[in-house]
């Protein structure tokens, strides 16, 4: 995996701008439309993104001070905050998203090299150095830009972000080995990933953006499995 802290912080900025610009163009009716995520409207998704900025901010605070501040108080509290947030107006949500993103950016900008190396625990229970948190945030703002279902697709995300995301997802999928074995080959770049799993590996091909969407568990538009009848369905990744 070749991504750096500088890459991840740039991707946060790019994804945050993409989202903020998109939200600025939505009227109340568009805010109230469904997202691409099952059961979530766009408002749920924006509330989740704003709350996630604060949650990642808690990890940055932990790294800066040594005070143990987890991302969320509990899974129930996380869900309740998303539900409550989904009742806000579009402009209120856009403002909350922007405010939490700006606070997170200043908190990250203030971390010293030593603080970046401090260990924190994610909501999934993984112990990671704080330097992993910009990647966690970049992933959220980028992938959920597409989940907003306003016309942004994985093809609109930065070209160097896509292989970094595929590296991450294929490593996680191979580690879990709970899905089908795959050989994933991009048709428009030279990227290729092997995913460990059950059965003989199925070759899956598509342009890189479609491959990334597929690996992330999104609609596999334009993805084909030349030697198999169907593109294998994948279990959840996060």
Residues that bind Zn ion (CB under 5 A): 140
Min separation Cβ 145 and Zn ion, Å: 11
Min separation Cβ 144 and Zn ion, Å: 6
The gap from C-alpha 200 to its chain's centroid, in whole angstroms, comes to 29
Q: What three-state secondary structure class fits 196?
A: coil
Tokens 């600025």 belong to 24
Min separation Cβ 71 and Zn ion, Å: 11
Please tell me what DSSP assigns to residue 203: E
The angle at the Cα of 114, spanning 14 to 2, to the nearest 5 degrees, equals: 45
* Number of neighbours of residue 233 by Cβ within 10 angstroms: 9
Judged by beta carbon, residue 81 or residue 140, the one nearer Zn ion is 140
Judged by beta carbon, residue 158 or residue 237, the one nearer Zn ion is 237
Residue from 157, 54, 47 nearest 102 by CA: 54
Min separation Cβ 202 and Zn ion, Å: 28
Judged by beta carbon, residue 57 or residue 232, the one nearer Zn ion is 57
Judged by beta carbon, residue 132 or residue 140, the one nearer Zn ion is 140
Q: How far apart, in Å, are the Cα atoms of 24 and each of 31, 49, 157?
A: 10, 15, 19
Residue from 224, 222, 194, 187 nearest 208 by CA: 187
Min separation Cβ 140 and Zn ion, Å: 5
Judged by beta carbon, residue 46 or residue 182, the one nearer Zn ion is 46
């Amino acid at each position: 995996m070749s991504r750096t802290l500088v890459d991840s912080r740039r991707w946060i900025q790019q994804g945050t701008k993409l989202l903020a610009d998109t939200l600025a163009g939505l009227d109340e009716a568009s805010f109230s439309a469904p997202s691409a995520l099952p059961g979530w409207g766009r408002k749920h998704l924006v509330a989740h993104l704003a709350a996630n900025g604060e949650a990642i901010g808690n990890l940055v605070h932990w790294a800066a001070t040594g005070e143990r501040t987890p991302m969320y108080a509990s899974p129930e509290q996380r869900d309740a905050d998303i539900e409550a947030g989904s009742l806000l107006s579009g402009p209120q949500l856009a403002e909350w998203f922007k405010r939490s993103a700006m606070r997170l950016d200043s908190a990250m900008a203030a971390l010293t090299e030593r603080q970046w190396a401090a260990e924190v625990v994610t909501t999934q229970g993984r112990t990671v150095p704080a330097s992993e948190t910009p990647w966690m945030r970049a992933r959220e703002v980028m992938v959920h830009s597409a989940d907003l279902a306003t016309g942004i697709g994985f093809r609109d995300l930065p070209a160097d972000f896509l292989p970094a995301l595929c590296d991450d997802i294929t490593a996680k999928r191979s580690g879990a080995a709970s899905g089908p074995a795959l050989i994933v080959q991009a048709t428009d770049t030279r990227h290729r990933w092997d995913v460990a799993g059950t059965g003989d590996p199925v070759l899956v091909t598509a342009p890189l953006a479609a491959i990334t969407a597929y690996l992330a568990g999104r609609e596999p538009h334009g993805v084909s499995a030349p030697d198999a009848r169907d593109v294998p369905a994948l279990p959840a990744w996060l």
